[in-house]
Structure 1
Amino acid sequence: MNSANDRLSPSKNKSPVSSTGQPLRLDDASSLPDHFVARLRELDSIFLANTYVDSIAADPRVRPLVTELEEHLRVQPVRGYHCTREPCPGHFAREGLRLTDVEAHQREFLQNFGHLFTASELQDMQKAWTNYFVGEHQVRGRNGRLWFCLTEKTARSDGTQVFFEHFGGEAIFMPLKRHPTIAAKLGTIGTPVIVEVRLVPEAPSRHRSLALPLLSAYHRTRRADANSGEAETYIERPLAACDVLSVTAV
């Protein structure tokens, strides 16, 4: 799921970028251009015959339209939802979001919050971090990325609860979430929030589809029991404060 990212100091990795314009909601079928809707309606029999959007997208009659829709969305700003705990009110609106740097996040966390933990807990913390991130090579897929849900339903699903329950993002809590005392303390720092953002054109990873969530939204207008699934993506650049649209307590 999303790699929650608590930004405690300015990022020096890359220059943030921003984009003007209202971002599209990928969980709202009204985000589809009219000419796409007209073409999808010609394929309604396929949508009505399937519960899962993946099956629909794999149909050779639908596949070319999915590809075209994907390319259309790649040049539009879209909405994303980042699940995390905010260290203090207004933090993300002022600072934006930075890319994950596991070692830097851990050093920063200890500098800011190390005083909340006992010497024994700090030893357990360092050992757990080393075993998990170094010993198990769990840095892969985390450093240099910033994760977002692409639909509000995904952001409020069971899979994101761990990011609301523990402060610090995966770089901090992942190997500690079952520790008998550290996990409880991580749940006292900050406030659980959903950070709604504008993802600028071309920023979302091409390894994660933008078309499927929007196609799924259309699917739900055709049959009420359509399975919406979960949708997420990541970017590899910091997100500027001006691209933070709202911060909502959970």
Structure 2
Amino acid sequence: MKDREISLLVEEVNEFCLNASIKGFHYTRAIPEQILKLGLTCRTGEEIRFNFIKDYGHLFSKTELQIIRDKWASQFDQRQQQSRDNYIFFNFTTSALYNVGAEPLLLNFGGEQIYMPFYECDNISSILKDLGSPMILKCNLDPGFLNTFSEYPWGKIAVSSYHTMCNPEACRVDQDGYKSVDVHSNQIEILLYDSIKDFSRI
């Protein structure tokens, strides 16, 4: 196919997807029962961290709690808050399972709003790795509430994904997207990462 034909195909597929449901993948380490009860909720980082201390603060010493608070205050400045607060992030393929992009999210409890500053804090990091279960949350999403970072995102993702089925060496397009509306539990399929033997079937 010529470049113009491919571009038209991408546009047409994207238009079709805008009237359909989009599958989004949210990688996390969390408590499955909480996801079943609450779904994915839009919250500020301050809310997330407050609840973490309320629920799990007893697992840390007083010194560790001070380190946690200090590192959070340093990490999550105004710029970080503006780019993260009240957003839920997704991928739209499972490529991150192969390029280790999902690994930190699956290994560390609570998402980036919790674990980001603690890579070099061995004891704190080890506790975060012991909490919860690694999960892939497969979500049914309305594209009208999704924000992405390129033109015709759904067409590019769908067409390139089909291309890799025909040619495994082809480049597959994926990108981050986010929404600022809660995802209810009935829109979520919980896939326990440790029990999945073939990611290509997700």
- TM-score normalised per structure 2: 0.86
Structure 2 equivalent of residue 102 of structure 1: 45
Q: Is the 8 A contact 2:27 2:135 kept in 1?
A: yes
Structure whose residues are more often helix by fraction: 2
Q: Is the 8 A contact 1:149 1:155 kept in 2?
A: no
Separation (CA, whole Å) in 2 of partners of 1:229 and 1:61 = 18
Separation (CA, whole Å) in 1 of partners of 2:193 and 2:168 = 29
Q: Is the 8 A contact 2:27 2:102 kept in 1?
A: yes
Question: Is 2:117 aligned against 1:175?
Answer: yes
Question: Is 2:177 aligned against 1:233?
Answer: yes
Deviation at 1:206, TM superposition (A): 4.2
Separation (CA, whole Å) in 2 of partners of 1:230 and 1:73 = 15
Structure 2 equivalent of residue 152 of structure 1: 94
Structure 1 equivalent of residue 54 of structure 2: 111
Structure 1 equivalent of residue 191 of structure 2: 247
Q: How do 1:18-33 residues align onto structure 2 when only pairs under 5 Å count?
A: none
Gapped runs of 5+ residues in structure 1? 1-42, 47-58
Deviates more, 1:171-180 or 1:221-230: 221-230
Q: Is the 8 A contact 2:29 2:105 kept in 1?
A: yes
In percent, how many aligned pairs have the same letter?
A: 24
Deviations 1:88-119 (A, max 9, x none): x4321222101241000010000000000111
> Residue 147 of structure 1 aligns to which amino acid in structure 2?
F
Which of 138, 160, 182 is the equivalent residue of 1:216? Answer: 160
> Residue 203 of structure 1 aligns to which amino acid in structure 2?
F
Q: Runs of at least 4 residues of structure 1 off by over 3 A?
A: none
Question: Is 2:19 aligned against 1:75?
Answer: yes
Separation (CA, whole Å) in 2 of partners of 1:113 and 1:90 = 16
Q: Is the 8 A contact 1:154 1:231 kept in 2?
A: no
The DSSP-based 3-state class of the residue aligned with 2:64 is: helix
Deviation at 1:239, TM superposition (A): 0.3
Which of 127, 135, 144 is the equivalent residue of 1:193? Answer: 135
The DSSP-based 3-state class of the residue aligned with 1:186 is: helix
Separation (CA, whole Å) in 1 of partners of 2:53 and 2:190 = 28
Deviation at 1:240, TM superposition (A): 0.8
Separation (CA, whole Å) in 2 of partners of 1:224 and 1:164 = 26
Query: Measured at CA, do residues 154 and 132 of structure 1 come closer, stay the same or move farther in structure 2, by a change above 3 Å?
Result: same
Q: Is the 8 A contact 1:82 1:147 kept in 2?
A: yes
Deviation at 1:155, TM superposition (A): 4.3
Deviation at 1:231, TM superposition (A): 3.1
Separation (CA, whole Å) in 2 of partners of 1:181 and 1:159 = 23
> Residue 24 of structure 2 aligns to which amino acid in structure 1?
G
Deviation at 1:182, TM superposition (A): 0.9
Query: Measured at CA, do residues 229 and 179 of structure 1 come closer, stay the same or move farther in structure 2, by a change above 3 Å?
Result: farther
The DSSP-based 3-state class of the residue aligned with 1:247 is: strand
The alignment's C-alpha RMSD in Å is 1.9
Q: Is the 8 A contact 1:80 1:149 kept in 2?
A: yes
> Residue 179 of structure 1 aligns to which amino acid in structure 2?
C
Structure 1 equivalent of residue 197 of structure 2: none
Separation (CA, whole Å) in 2 of partners of 1:110 and 1:234 = 26
- TM-score normalised per structure 1: 0.71
Query: Measured at CA, do residues 246 and 165 of structure 1 come closer, stay the same or move farther in structure 2, by a change above 3 Å?
Result: closer
Question: Is 2:95 aligned against 1:121?
Answer: no
